[in-house]
Amino acid sequence: MSGLDSFLFDIPARLRFGCGVMDEIQKASLPGSRLMIVTGGKTIRANGTVDRLVKMVERKAETIVIFDEVRANPTLASVMKGAAIARENQIDCVIGLGGGSALDTAKGIAAMAVNEGSLWDYTASGSGSGKSMAHKPLPLIAIPTTAGTGSEGNKTAVITDTERNEKIGVRTDFVHSAYIDPELTLSIPPQHTAEQGFDAFCHCLEAFLSVKANPFSDMMAAAGMKALYRWLPAAVENGSDIEARYWVSYGSMLGGMVLYLSSASAAHTLEHMLSGLNPAVSHGGGLAMIFDAFHAKLAENVPQRYAQAAEAMGIAEGASETEIAEHLLSDFHQWKSRLGLDRLRLRDYGFTPDQAEEMVRMTHWVGGGPLTRDRYRFSDDDLAEILRKALEV
Sites of contact with Zn ion (CB under 5 A): 199
Hey, what's the torsion of the CAs at 348, 147, 110, 161, to 10 degrees? -10
- Give whichever of 233 and 284 is closer to Zn ion, judged by the CB atom: 284
Q: Least distance in Å: CB of 348 to Zn ion?
A: 21
Strands 175-180 and 140-144: what pairing? parallel
C-beta neighbour count of 203 within 10 angstroms? 32
Cβ-proximal residue to Zn ion, closest one: 199
* In contact, 125 and 159? CB cutoff 8 Å: no
User: Which among 199, 179, 186, 23 is positioned nearest to 95, based on CA atoms?
Assistant: 179
Q: Least distance in Å: CB of 203 to Zn ion?
A: 6
- Give whichever of 49 and 210 is closer to Zn ion, judged by the CB atom: 210
User: Which among 381, 335, 6 is positioned nearest to 197, based on CA atoms?
Assistant: 335
Q: Least distance in Å: CB of 255 to Zn ion?
A: 8
Q: Least distance in Å: CB of 157 to Zn ion?
A: 13
- One-letter identity of residue 351: F
- Give whichever of 205 and 293 is closer to Zn ion, judged by the CB atom: 205
- Give whichever of 57 and 309 is closer to Zn ion, judged by the CB atom: 309
Q: Least distance in Å: CB of 103 to Zn ion?
A: 13
Number of residues written out for the chain? 393
Angle between helices 321-338 and 283-301 (to 10 degrees): 170
Distance between CA atoms of residues 121 and 132, nearest Å = 8
Secondary structure class of 123 (helix, strand, coil): coil
- Give whichever of 67 and 174 is closer to Zn ion, judged by the CB atom: 174
